[in-house]
Amino acid sequence: MNGDTESIKNTIVDVIDQNKGQDIVTFDVQNKTVIAKYMIIASGDSSRHVKALAEHVMKNLKQYDKIDVEGMDEGNWVIVNFQGIMVHLFRPEVREYYKIEELWN
């Protein structure tokens, strides 16, 4: 893999921030789970915005290999999973409902 996980995580956070993603939170979860090293959680203000954020993230990762994405159809909760970094993008009310931050805090 070119680039370490830490710098890729920072790139993803920057991309979300530049595209007006809100309430960006990052968790280092490598000691809590095997599914990821980092969780990044952010909100978009509509399903269209959530999908756009996911597309921006994927566009910035396209130089790397495998990127998994789920939830692009509805755009309520999109997960972009890449090299140990799991990005959760929500509409605010969906994020509020699932409260996944509380799982990792």
The pTM for the full model equals 0.91
Q: What is the CATH number of the domain that holds 47?
A: 3.30.460.10
Return the SS3 of 94. Answer: helix
Q: Which domain holds residue 83?
A: 5-104
Q: What total number of domains does the chain contain?
A: 1
Report pLDDT digits (tens) over 55-98: 999 999 888 778 899 999 999 999 999 989 999 999 999 999 99
